Structure 1
Amino acid sequence: MTATDLTESWERIEAWLAAHAPASHASLPAPAGPEEIQRAQQQTGIVFPGELTTLLLRRNGAGDMGTEVIPGYELLPAASIADTYTMHLKFRGRESESSPEPADAESDTRYADDIARAEAGRSCFHQHRVYLPVATNGCGGYMVLNYVPGVTQGRLGQFSTEDGGTSFEPTPTWKSLTALLEAVADGLESDERIVELYGDWQTTERDEGWQATVDEDGYLVWAEPEP
């Protein structure tokens, strides 16, 4: 999937919001400027994957109203991606807030293990320096993106601040931001307005998906589908 595919999916989502949830559409933030993205990359020491940069150039996060374009998650703006990433590194005792380089031999070994696991698309139970937070559930959980070049680059998973673990299990995760946004767009445009967000991610917990509703003020609200 390409940046064009992501742009098309995002345009479909915005068109649906404009037609059905105008307040949510109006609350979406402006695009990130190239300088904002550059600052975030400098802070993390990471060149953002093309899909993430494309998304930020469309809209810089969820906006002041915290519009959940993805059910249960608010997209993070560029500055928050960098701040969250470096905060977690500092919390885990890394060398500094601005450098992903290991501080000693032990962390060097862990870092090498992180890279190997990321390349293989596997899980690990300490904070990865190879995953960028791209969205938050507001309760200590994050949607993270594997930025390490390789066959699993761009793959999405979950990170919890409670146990410090990054999970891509028990089922295959979304392969990319584009695949996720396409699923959201397909769901919004369906007759039932149901996004089976966890159909490819966590079927054991929410196989029924999420249903798009609109409140009286014109804001998108995700709800469990009615029986």
Structure 2
Amino acid sequence: MTVAISDSWKRMEDWLAEHAPATHAALTPPADSARIAEVERAIGRPLLRPLVASPARHDGFLDWRTSLLPGLYRLLSAREIVAEWRSLTGCYDRCAVDEAGDEVDDDFMRIGSSALLYGHPQVIPIARDMCGSDLLVDHRPVGDRGRVHTAEAVEGFVRGSHEMWTSLPVLMERVVASLETGRPLDGYTPVVDGEQRLCWEFGPRSL
């Protein structure tokens, strides 16, 4: 059974407070319901409950020099989600997707990536790295609904094979388990630098 995001956040907060206090200090206050409603109005659809639960605990992250998630991803605030969504959807070629038809989703599931799906308005960004790649939660009414994808301008959407990408609650649970055990997650090992910030070092092993 997947742990609730609120429980994963509590465990992460406790771990950061003890082991990486500089990163803990960069956690933000929660987004209120009015701010979440602003996001939903802007994107034109309700957010899946896990995507509401995370900013309702911490609305983004203050320090660009550290990241909570493997791959150097920094969680976006509610307002940043809207800004990033608008930027991504400006790249979406609806005509090309409509012309390709069902082959778009079929190819995405078979190949694991899709340039045509890049910027799809029903795939909502939740985190961004320093190189411009995003993590997104799929809100499309398809089999991947709720799954976390990565996206960057060249490859488009990428469907990760690791179990942690199954959903946002699963991702948060696996991240917390990696912090608590020190074991790598999809090749990334949590470490704390000299300034007491959480970092992720890439290596060959996986959790």
Q: TM-score range by the shorter chain?
A: 0.7 to 0.9
Letter in 1 for 2:90: K
Deviations 1:12-53 (A, max 9, x none): 111100111111101111111211111111111121110000
Bigger RCO (CA 8 Å, 6+ sep):
2
Where do 4+ consecutive residues of structure 1 move more than 6 Å?
A: 118-122
Identify the residue that residue 11 of structure 2 maps to in structure 1: 12
Residues 114 and 143 (structure 1 numbering): CA distance in 2 closer, same or farther, change over 3 Å? farther
Q: Does 1:62 align with 2:61?
A: yes
Identify the residue that residue 183 of structure 1 maps to in structure 2: 174
Q: Does 1:194 align with 2:186?
A: no
Equivalent in 124, 147, 164 of residue 114 of structure 2: 124
Residues 65 and 158 (structure 1 numbering): CA distance in 2 closer, same or farther, change over 3 Å? closer
Deviations 1:73-119 (A, max 9, x none): 111111111111111222446xxxxxxxx6xxx36726965995699
Deviates more, 1:24-33 or 1:107-116: 107-116
Partners of 1:221 and 1:35 in 2: CA distance: 33
Identify the residue that residue 83 of structure 1 maps to in structure 2: 83
Q: Does 1:38 align with 2:37?
A: yes
Identify the residue that residue 222 of structure 1 maps to in structure 2: 200
Q: Percent identity?
A: 27
Deviations 1:161-211 (A, max 9, x none): 2x2611115666611011111111111111xx1331x2xxxxxxxxxx222
Following superposition, the deviation at residue 225 of structure 1 comes to: 5.1
- Name stretches of at least 5 consecutive residues in structure 2 with no aligned partner: none
Deviations 1:202-227 (A, max 9, x none): xxxxxxx2222222322112223599
Task: Give the 3-state SS of the residue equivalent to 1:159 in structure 2.
Answer: strand
Length-normalised TM-score, structure 2 = 0.83
Map 1:151-170 onto structure 2 (within 5 A). 151-161=143-153, 163=154, 165-169=156-160
Task: Give the 3-state SS of the residue equivalent to 1:157 in structure 2.
Answer: strand
The answer on whether the counterparts of 1:21 and 1:219 sit within 8 Å (CA) in structure 2 is yes
Identify the residue that residue 205 of structure 1 maps to in structure 2: none
Residues 32 and 69 (structure 1 numbering): CA distance in 2 closer, same or farther, change over 3 Å? same
Letter in 2 for 1:131: V
Residues 70 and 110 (structure 1 numbering): CA distance in 2 closer, same or farther, change over 3 Å? farther
Letter in 2 for 1:125: A
Deviates more, 1:164-173 or 1:82-91: 164-173
Q: Does 1:210 align with 2:199?
A: no
| Aligned residues between the structures | 201
Partners of 2:98 and 2:204 in 1: CA distance: 49
Q: How much is the aligned-residue C-alpha RMSD, in angstroms?
A: 3.0
- Name stretches of at least 5 consecutive residues in structure 1 with no aligned partner: 94-101, 199-208
Task: Give the 3-state SS of the residue equivalent to 1:8 in structure 2.
Answer: helix
Letter in 2 for 1:124: S
Q: Does 1:140 align with 2:118?
A: no
Deviations 1:128-180 (A, max 9, x none): 2221111111212111110124542110111112x261111566661101111
The answer on whether the counterparts of 1:114 and 1:124 sit within 8 Å (CA) in structure 2 is no
Length-normalised TM-score, structure 1 = 0.76
